[in-house]
Amino acid sequence: MAHEAGFTVPIALTAAAWADCVQWSEMDSNRQAPQDETGRLWDVLVMTRFAIRRSRGSGDRITVELYRIPRGGKARQPCRARLAACIGPGDHAWPVLTISPPGED
């Protein structure tokens, strides 16, 4: 999916970023709004790609803003979420783009 969104390097999401912006169950759909994790992940990836384009290569960390319905409650309207995307060496020194909540290292 990352490749389809235009990425040429591997993408990693921290558990906190996944839980806040991607995770979604059938129970969430029944209680709040019909969505799925594939669509929510696509939104994160596309908005990250747009943020990278807007940054024009200035630095190794950018802020990503997107709207998502927070899960686990009664919200049916999207709320703004902020994530950080940082490129750096992965486990084998190849570049990896990591998406996390701001301030999470």
Q: Is residue 73 part of a domain?
A: yes
User: What domain range is 56 assigned to?
Assistant: 11-100
Q: What is the pLDDT of residues 31-88, one digit of tens each?
A: 999 999 999 999 999 999 999 989 877 778 899 999 999 988 888 899 999 999 999 9
- Prediction pTM value: 0.90
Q: Is residue 40 part of a domain?
A: yes
Number of domains in the chain: 1
Give the sheet arrangement for strand 61-68, strand by strand: 11-13, 95-100, 79-89, 61-68
